[in-house]
Structure 1
Amino acid sequence: MKKETYAYPSTMARMKAEYKIFILAFVFIVIADSIGQIQVPLGPGTLILFPIFYSLIMGVISGPEVLKIFNKKEVKAASKLVIVAICPFIAKLGINAGASLEVILSAGPALVLQEIGNLGTIFLALPFALLLGLKREAIGATHSINRESNLALITDMFGPDSPETRGSLSIYVVGGMVGTIYFGFMTTMVAALHIFHPYALGMASGVGAGILMASATASLALIYPNMAAELSALASTSETISGITGIYVAIFVGIPLTKKLYQLLEPPIARLRREPSEVLESRKKEMDAKENNAKSREER
């Protein structure tokens, strides 16, 4: 006699929501890929719109606040699937890193240490994030440029449902929409100044984010068509090194620095905003827990 299995309604509802996400995501990808790149000349620069921009826009307008194709439960389910979707790309980064060890070891200090420059943005971004009302989300949002590897790192360290991961995911999405346009336009504007050598611009294009690198190098290829191959190679090498060094910089410097600054800045900014301080409340709970433990030991 064949034993019947029963799927709980919550499990069936979750699977239904995930299938809906997968199907519509595939439809969005097909539509975006059919549109392709759009180049808009703007003064000495050029705006380049990539397919990922259209996909993200379609995802945003299909949410519960606009077209309501997805409800809030499906949006929450989709946020957990992001890390699953980017795992193949993260594995590809690891493979490229292993194959490029000789390049990394032979690279100059400008390439190896360029990731340290991203740490300076923490001192500017974190106070602004707190002033806008973010709490622990600011740690995930401001510790780095928040691309695939950083999102995976934050998810692994703090958990997929943590405020830190929500902050990192938010910047990941915003970076995909705004970053591609900004990088492509900024590259053409800087190149038009004729201050930096094209090779320097190629190396600067590799910041640890594949889509941002693609946007920058596509703009450079339009400006320097005879050097397109060399610029792409330099950008790819810089991208690989940034992806590797960026993880270690985030683990040992970026995240600890952001957490420390959060502990220092959150209480005064919370007072400025006239709202409760998460840091002070957390410290109070810890003190109460210690006092309760001490009392229980004395009673024993």
Structure 2
Amino acid sequence: MKKEIYMYPSTKARFQAEYKIFLLAFVFIVIADSIGQIKVPLGPGTLILFPIFYSLLLGIISGPEVLKIFKKKEVKAASKLVIVAICPFIAKLGINAGASLETVLSAGPALLFQEVGNLGTIFFALPVALLLGLKREAIGATHSINRESNLALITDMFGPDSPETRGSLSIYVVGGMVGTIYFGFLATMIASLNVFHPYALGMASGVGAGILMASSVASLTLVYPDMATQISALASTSETLSGLTGIYVAIFVGIPLTQKLYELLEPPIARLRKEPSEVLTRKKQEAEDAKKTIEEITVEEE
């Protein structure tokens, strides 16, 4: 008697509804892999277009805003499959790190404390965001590199419909598309200066975003083929630690620091742009509400 494999109705129905995602994802992979890497020399560096860039581009074109092959419901379902797709890649990074454990340990505390260095970007990014016209969106956009964990954190703290979440989501999308190109190019540019040791560049690649780390490591291994294994090991370990420590740094330092700087910088930059200040308007409204509350309490007591 032939034994049938039972599938829960919900799982079977979900597969039937989302089969298009799996089918086209496979097609995109084949197309992207067929194109391969495209290297464009730019000065001392090299601009490298990776297959993941073509895949992202194909995904954007097929979305509900362009060709409308995918609907918004399918786009939402596909977002949950990202972690499933990158799990084999994460496992490979762990194996590389374990195989080069001596190199990793020799890096010392630099790996552990490098996440603190990422806070420095806030002092540059936040004023630029405000000058471009962002308001509270700048808090979510500039508090960190804004990958999956940071986006989830901002959504939980401020709500899914908040300006902070919109800012974080915008950087998440742009980072996935533009960041892969930027990181690969930046890695070759910095490597060409011969200022930093290749191991340091490998550690710097692990910023808490697997897609960006992969782009940077791929570029560095082309520059330093003899150190490819060590660079990959340090980058993967750095990536893991950044993911672990980054969320706590964002909660206790990154977000409070960004909020404080926003309160200080938004009013003068708003005057510079000749537009109303969100901070001053909010404080004025809070003062009026507090005054109104005090008056109501006074009337009740009388």
TM range (shorter): 0.7 to 0.9
Give the 5 Å matches for 1:1-300: 23=20, 27=24, 30-36=27-33, 37-42=36-41, 43-62=43-62, 67=66, 69=68, 74=72, 84-85=80-81, 108-300=108-300
Comparing 33-42 and 177-186, the one that deviates more: 33-42
d(CA) in 2 for partners of 1:124, 1:214: 25
Q: Shift of the alpha carbon at 1:152?
A: 1.6
| Residues 137 and 225 (structure 1), Cα distance of their counterparts in 2 relative to 1, 3 Å cut | same
Matched residue SS, 2:126: helix
Would the aligned equivalents of 1:122 and 1:143 in 2 still touch at CA under 8 Å? yes
CA distance in 2, matches of 1:279, 1:40: 46
The code of the aligned residue for 1:49 comes to L
CA RMSD of superposed structures (Å) = 3.4
Cα deviation 1:51-89 (Å, max 9, x = unaligned): 432243334445676x36289x949x95x7687455658
CA distance in 1 between counterparts of 2:67 and 2:215 reads 31
Distance 1:241 1:110 in 2: 11
In the superposition, the TM-score normalised over structure 1's length comes to: 0.78
Shift of 1:181: 1.0
Partner of 1:13: none
Point out where structure 1 has 5 or more consecutive residues left out of the alignment: 1-18
Q: Do the aligned residues in 1 keep the contact of 2:122 with 2:144 (CA within 8 Å)?
A: yes
CA distance in 2, matches of 1:277, 1:82: 39
Code of the aligned partner of 2:264: L
Please give the secondary structure, in 2, of the residue aligned with 1:144.
Answer: coil
The change in CA–CA distance for 1:25 and 1:52 in structure 2 (over 3 A counts) is farther
Deviation at 1:260, TM superposition (A): 0.8
Three-state SS of the structure 2 residue aligned to 1:134 is coil
Deviates more, 1:218-227 or 1:165-174: 218-227
- How big is the shift at 1:151? 1.2
- SS of the equivalent of 2:119 reads helix
What TM-score do the two structures reach when normalised by structure 2? 0.77
